Structure 1
Amino acid sequence: MAISHPAIWGAALAAVLLGAAAEAKTLTVSPGPDAQERVQTALLDAKPGDVVSLEAGTFAFTDGLSLDIDNVTVTGAGQGKTVLSFAGQKGAGEGLLITSDGVTVRDLTMQDSKGDGIKSKGADRISFVALTVEWTGGPKETNGAYGVYPVSSTNVLIDKVTVRGASDAGIYVGQSKNIIVRNSRAEFNVAGIEIENSTDADVFDNVATHNTGGILVFDLPGLPVMGGHSTRIFRNQVVDNDTPNFAPKGNIVANVPMGVGVMLMANRDVHVFENEISGNQTSAVMLVSYSRAFDDKAYNPLPRDIVVRDNRIGRNGWLPSLPGGKMLAQAMGGAVPPVLWDGITSYPGIEGPAPRLYVKDGPVLNLNLAKPGEVEGAKPTVTATLGTPGLPERAAVVLPGSQDKPAS
């Protein structure tokens, strides 16, 4: 006889779900010999819903780790308590590469990976919570490029993360969508926090300090995903970014001047508000165009639909790391204005209206460049503000409810 009563169907479904939940298990791994094999085996053997628990102590690895199972949590005993050391890593890959959905990595420290620290690629619902990623030898060109690095991912949460020593960006989110970066600290990196070629990002309640540049929002040509837009940067402390640029030559961030607070390049619909920005010798905020050659006619190298308002701006711009920066600061009474804009409003082959910019937190130094990077003949001017209000506010980013639980 067929079962057709809704209550019976509901009971049967509940039994199946409870049975699946009961099957979830914790795979516990302790430090010691053969840590590489034992941890990687746990990551390979995990089933959806399982927890891979790494006990307190130092795990020494000679190669990177990988995870491709959905809905797995990798947890340690706490930052500084569970330490994953890649000082003996023989290859140049990531410390941990994640290519599955619904993964959380939390409560551990990763040190000295030869390549990037923790990377997710093509993942949905990826969470990095209460992590430290660091290169213990301090800022060096030979350090890994990125500390925490979700790319081509959706529904990204980065919460209570600390990154030190990345030779490109400490916290980097690239070609991704629906992103929250909060309660985190980036220090002694080239770029502290970078959102690149991504859509719908909220970056708030973070500290970016002692980097070359504090918080960067870029859009670059030649990538599978372009047209980055819709980022909010708010309630952050962007202070004392004073580390000389140590990025390998040729990297785009190798051009970031030392001492930039917030830098927006070739991106659209970016709102910067209610941040504390001080102690940055080049500029509190820079609005610049992409300055390298590119072939893609769909790419727009200009920053546009930008809002800078209601920030607490302290001392910045006393010694800009720009051509002629020292003389420019002296000519302006010892420091350049807090907001620096290259002044470029059009680009050959790019159609459309001039970029809309609203900068309330002036004065603004307009470099009046003819085109990106061309400073000869430019005549800088200063305005109290730039543009007029009217650009619409961005809505808050919302992550799936099961993912966005407050970090303990």
Structure 2
Amino acid sequence: MTRLTGRIAALTAAAFLLTACGGGNERRDVSDADRDYAATLMEQLIDAQPGEVIEIPAGVFVFDRSLSLTVDGVTIRGAGMDETVLSFSGQTSGAEGLLVTASDFTIEDLAIEDTRGDALKVNEGDNIVIRRVRTEWTNGPDTENGAYGIYPVQTTNVLIDGAVAIGASDAGIYVGQSRNVIIRNSRAEFNVAGIEVENTVGADVYDNVATNNTGGILVFNMPNLPQPGYQTRVYNNRVFGNNTGNFGHPGTPVASVPAGSGVVINSNDQVEIFDNEISDHRTANIIISSVHSTGFSDLGTQENFDPYPEAIYIHGNTFGEGGGNPDHLELQALRIAMFGITGNIPDVLWDGYVDPAKMEDGALPADLRICIDNGDAQMLNVDFPNGNDNPHIVEDTACTLDRLPAISLPG
């Protein structure tokens, strides 16, 4: 498909470049109709009214500045994620591809490529639908890629359905500091974190594929954010081969994720992982950790922040190969010492942090435990709090917890 470039004058300060894609392989000049469409598109984004549907035709349209939408009740609809492409390969201004600060917003059937910063950010909105949207950095994994592909933050009632996210230097599909979220039928590949739910209350992550990321699916809590997260279900996903070297920006939390991590839980509570296919991860198929083992526990204090992962229920998953070549030298040495040169770390790797204030007779209460009801799957406690002095297989993980409720979205 040939890209044809034309210069469009600014509407207020929002100047941009437009490239239209015509049929066949012959280059043609940008027509007056293309120029008129570009002006119309910008007018629609700037002057949109509640209830309006903005239709973007098939083609590749290249912008040099961020786009934004601030009006509630708008739908942006393309002709398909491989047909309508908003490209920011020439972006010189703005931090996002598209920034939305509105509620009752739907975006569907288009792609956003090669943004300088985040591809699609939705901030402080309710009732958000992101359907069949692709975000991608076409040069492959690179630290200079934008941080987030699909990025709703401080939102409520969010549906991400049928999305594709490729090449983000932080997370491909990320929902943070939000409530009532569903991420389903989507694919995340060649990101640092494929799919990440952070500081979010109530999320269902299911029927997705996460592969070729550094870490497949992450359920995180981080300190110094407006709310702690809990109650996330991760189920019916295919999480495999997430062994891409970590290309996150040094100093960011995601840069601490070891290559070869399938599902990672960090400082989050009430997490249920079930009926997934998880395999081919060099470090471990599932990792459970505290913020204390990530190097970010000194970010500050927060009265309601609990750094200890509790009430974790792992059951009914199918595990394949994992743990045969951990990313960190300390884990590699531990693997060889405990399991031999050809041995593997068990399917579940735990850093060993527990809250001493909650212990009763040397153990956590039954409703706060890590429970593994998953055939012969075992959990290795690496005893990180004590400098790895006593790494051991945890013998008493065979328990059950109450099942978490399903997420329901209005409408």
- TM-score where L is the length of structure 2: 0.85
Verify the 8 A CA contact 1:124 1:156 in the aligned structure 2: yes
The change in CA–CA distance for 1:70 and 1:81 in structure 2 (over 3 A counts) is same
How many Å separate the matches in 1 of 2:373 and 2:37?
Answer: 54
Amino acid at match of 1:190: V
Aligned residue for 1:295? 301
Q: How far 1:204 moved relative to its partner?
A: 0.1
Higher share in strand: 2
Conserved in 2, the CA contact under 8 Å of 1:40 and 1:66?
A: no
Partner SS state of residue 245, structure 2: coil
The alignment status of 1:313 with 2:323, answered yes or no, reads: no
Q: Provide Cα deviations, 1:75-100, integer angstroms capped at 9, x if missing partner.
A: 11101100100011112411111111
8 Å Cα contact 2:19/2:62 also seen in 1: no
* Structure 1 residue 44, shift from structure 2 partner: 2.0
Contact 1:36–1:61 (8 Å) recurs in 2: no
Aligned to 2:130: 128
Partner in structure 1 of residue 345 of structure 2: 336
The offset of 1:269, in angstroms, is 0.3
User: Would the aligned equivalents of 1:289 and 1:303 in 2 still touch at CA under 8 Å?
Assistant: yes
Partner residue in 2 for 1:356? 369
| CA distance, structure 2, for counterparts of residue 369 and residue 246 of structure 1 | 25
Tell me, yes or no, if structure 1 residue 398 matches structure 2 residue 408. yes
Partner of 1:170: 172
CA distance in 1, matches of 2:37, 2:66: 12
Percent identity for Structure 1 against Structure 2: 44
**Is this contact kept in 1: 2:382–2:388, CA < 8 A?**
no
User: 1:95-244 residue pairs with structure 2 within 5 A?
Assistant: 95-225=97-227, 227-244=228-245
1:405 corresponds in structure 2 to: none
Q: Residues 88 and 302 of structure 1: is their aligned pair in 2 closer, same or farther, counting only changes over 3 Å?
A: same
**Are residue 256 (structure 1) and residue 257 (structure 2) matched?**
yes
Contact 1:35/1:60 (<8 A) preserved:
no
Q: CA RMSD in A?
A: 1.8
Output the CA distance in 2 between the equivalents of 1:38 and 1:321: 51
How many Å apart are 1:69 and its aligned residue?
Answer: 1.3
Distance in 1 (alpha carbons) for counterparts of 2:37 and 2:140: 26
Seen in structure 2, the aligned counterparts of structure 1 residues 83 and 385 have a Cα distance that, compared at 3 Å, is farther
Q: Deviations over 1:185-237 (max 9, x none)?
A: 00000000000000110000000000000000001111122x20000000000
* Paired letter, 2:384: L
CA contact (8 A) 1:30 1:56 kept: no
| Gaps in structure 2 of 5+ consecutive residues | 1-17, 21-33
Deviation per CA, 1:92-135: give whole Å up to 9, x if none. 41111111111110001110011101111111010100011000
Q: Secondary structure at the match of 2:291?
A: coil
The aligned counterpart of 2:272 is 271
Q: Distance in 1 between matches of 2:111 and 2:267?
A: 34
Q: Quick check: 1:60–1:88 contact (8 Å CA) kept in 2?
A: yes
Query: How many Å apart are 1:327 and its aligned residue?
Result: 2.5
* 1:35–1:191 CA distance, 2 compared to 1 (3 A): farther
**Cα deviation digits, residues 328-351 of structure 1 (max 9, x gap):** 22331421101011111126xx66
What TM-score does the superposition give when structure 1 sets the normalisation length?
0.86
* Counterparts of 1:377 and 1:111, CA distance in 2: 44
SS in 2 for 1:326: helix
* Stretch of structure 1 that moved more, 294-303 or 73-82: 294-303
| Count of matched residue pairs | 365
1:327 to 310, 330, 333: 333
AA partner of residue 182 (structure 2): I
